[in-house]
Amino acid sequence: MTANASSLRAVTPSRPEVAAIKAVIHSIPRGRVTNYGDVANRAGLPRRGRLVGRILRDAPATEHLPWHRVIRAGGRLAFATGSEAYHAQVRRLREEGVAVVRGRIDLLQFGWQQDADAVLWGPPAEH
Protein backbone atom coordinates (compact mmCIF):
# COMPACT_ATOMS: atom_id res chain seq x y z
CA MET A 1 0.00 0.00 0.00
CA THR A 2 1.04 3.58 -0.33
CA ALA A 3 0.73 4.58 3.32
CA ASN A 4 3.79 6.13 4.84
CA ALA A 5 5.59 3.51 6.91
CA SER A 6 6.79 6.06 9.43
CA SER A 7 3.45 5.99 11.18
CA LEU A 8 3.60 2.21 11.50
CA ARG A 9 7.24 1.96 12.33
CA ALA A 10 6.71 3.26 15.82
CA VAL A 11 4.37 0.49 16.86
CA THR A 12 5.33 -2.25 14.42
CA PRO A 13 8.62 -4.00 15.22
CA SER A 14 8.18 -6.24 12.17
CA ARG A 15 11.18 -4.99 10.35
CA PRO A 16 12.80 -7.32 7.80
CA GLU A 17 15.58 -8.24 10.18
CA VAL A 18 13.16 -9.37 12.84
CA ALA A 19 11.24 -11.44 10.30
CA ALA A 20 14.47 -13.02 9.06
CA ILE A 21 15.54 -13.96 12.55
CA LYS A 22 12.19 -15.47 13.42
CA ALA A 23 12.22 -17.43 10.19
CA VAL A 24 15.59 -18.91 11.08
CA ILE A 25 14.44 -19.87 14.55
CA HIS A 26 11.38 -21.53 13.10
CA SER A 27 13.61 -23.56 10.85
CA ILE A 28 15.69 -25.09 13.63
CA PRO A 29 14.96 -28.82 13.39
CA ARG A 30 13.33 -30.61 16.28
CA GLY A 31 15.93 -32.27 18.47
CA ARG A 32 18.64 -29.80 17.46
CA VAL A 33 19.92 -26.62 19.04
CA THR A 34 21.96 -23.65 17.95
CA ASN A 35 23.20 -20.43 19.49
CA TYR A 36 22.09 -16.83 19.27
CA GLY A 37 25.04 -15.79 17.17
CA ASP A 38 24.42 -18.55 14.65
CA VAL A 39 20.78 -17.57 14.28
CA ALA A 40 21.89 -14.02 13.61
CA ASN A 41 24.44 -15.19 11.06
CA ARG A 42 21.96 -17.34 9.21
CA ALA A 43 19.61 -14.38 9.13
CA GLY A 44 22.36 -12.38 7.47
CA LEU A 45 23.01 -10.28 10.56
CA PRO A 46 26.46 -11.07 11.94
CA ARG A 47 27.28 -9.90 15.48
CA ARG A 48 23.61 -9.42 16.25
CA GLY A 49 23.16 -12.14 18.80
CA ARG A 50 21.74 -9.65 21.25
CA LEU A 51 18.96 -8.80 18.87
CA VAL A 52 18.05 -12.48 18.68
CA GLY A 53 17.81 -12.64 22.44
CA ARG A 54 15.71 -9.53 22.63
CA ILE A 55 13.34 -10.80 19.99
CA LEU A 56 12.87 -14.07 21.83
CA ARG A 57 12.24 -12.23 25.04
CA ASP A 58 9.60 -10.01 23.48
CA ALA A 59 8.04 -12.58 21.18
CA PRO A 60 4.45 -13.37 22.10
CA ALA A 61 3.73 -17.05 22.78
CA THR A 62 1.20 -16.99 19.96
CA GLU A 63 4.07 -17.12 17.49
CA HIS A 64 5.13 -20.48 18.87
CA LEU A 65 8.81 -19.89 18.29
CA PRO A 66 10.94 -22.87 19.32
CA TRP A 67 12.88 -20.63 21.68
CA HIS A 68 14.17 -23.57 23.70
CA ARG A 69 16.33 -24.63 20.72
CA VAL A 70 18.34 -21.44 20.99
CA ILE A 71 21.15 -21.58 23.50
CA ARG A 72 24.40 -19.76 24.12
CA ALA A 73 27.62 -20.33 22.25
CA GLY A 74 29.55 -23.27 23.63
CA GLY A 75 26.45 -25.31 24.30
CA ARG A 76 25.38 -23.66 27.54
CA LEU A 77 21.84 -22.60 28.32
CA ALA A 78 21.28 -18.87 28.52
CA PHE A 79 19.24 -18.92 31.72
CA ALA A 80 20.61 -19.16 35.21
CA THR A 81 20.78 -22.71 36.45
CA GLY A 82 17.78 -23.40 38.64
CA SER A 83 15.65 -20.54 37.33
CA GLU A 84 12.11 -21.17 36.13
CA ALA A 85 13.02 -20.48 32.53
CA TYR A 86 15.97 -22.80 32.84
CA HIS A 87 13.83 -25.73 33.94
CA ALA A 88 11.22 -24.97 31.32
CA GLN A 89 13.87 -25.07 28.63
CA VAL A 90 15.41 -28.28 29.89
CA ARG A 91 11.99 -29.90 30.00
CA ARG A 92 11.17 -28.88 26.44
CA LEU A 93 14.54 -30.01 25.15
CA ARG A 94 14.36 -33.41 26.81
CA GLU A 95 10.90 -33.85 25.37
CA GLU A 96 12.46 -33.86 21.95
CA GLY A 97 15.42 -36.00 22.88
CA VAL A 98 18.09 -33.41 23.60
CA ALA A 99 20.24 -34.37 26.57
CA VAL A 100 21.03 -31.53 28.93
CA VAL A 101 23.79 -32.34 31.40
CA ARG A 102 24.54 -29.75 34.07
CA GLY A 103 23.14 -27.00 31.88
CA ARG A 104 25.21 -28.09 28.93
CA ILE A 105 24.44 -29.73 25.62
CA ASP A 106 26.83 -31.71 23.44
CA LEU A 107 26.85 -29.76 20.21
CA LEU A 108 28.53 -32.57 18.31
CA GLN A 109 25.44 -34.56 18.98
CA PHE A 110 22.61 -32.05 19.06
CA GLY A 111 24.07 -29.00 17.39
CA TRP A 112 22.28 -27.78 14.29
CA GLN A 113 24.85 -28.67 11.71
CA GLN A 114 24.29 -30.44 8.46
CA ASP A 115 24.68 -34.04 9.51
CA ALA A 116 26.02 -34.48 12.98
CA ASP A 117 24.71 -38.01 12.94
CA ALA A 118 26.37 -38.89 9.66
CA VAL A 119 29.64 -37.46 10.91
CA LEU A 120 29.47 -39.57 14.02
CA TRP A 121 28.17 -42.76 12.50
CA GLY A 122 29.98 -42.35 9.26
CA PRO A 123 28.56 -43.15 5.79
CA PRO A 124 27.02 -46.63 5.55
CA ALA A 125 29.23 -47.44 2.60
CA GLU A 126 32.61 -48.82 3.63
CA HIS A 127 34.11 -52.25 3.77
Interface with DNA by CB under 7 A: which residues? Answer: 13, 35-37, 47-54, 56-57, 59, 67-68, 70, 72-74, 78-79, 85
H or E, element range at 8:
helix 6-9
Q: Which is nearer to DNA, 31 or 79 (CB)?
A: 79
Distance set, CA 30 to CA 25, 34, 45, 68 (Å)? 11, 11, 23, 10
Q: Rounded to an integer, what distance in angstroms lies between the CA atom of residue 22 and that of residue 104? A: 24
CB of 127 to DNA, least distance (A): 37
CB of 122 to DNA, least distance (A): 27
Q: Rounded to an integer, what distance in angstroms lies between the CA atom of residue 89 and that of residue 77? A: 8
Q: Which is nearer to DNA, 32 or 68 (CB)?
A: 68
CB of 53 to DNA, least distance (A): 3
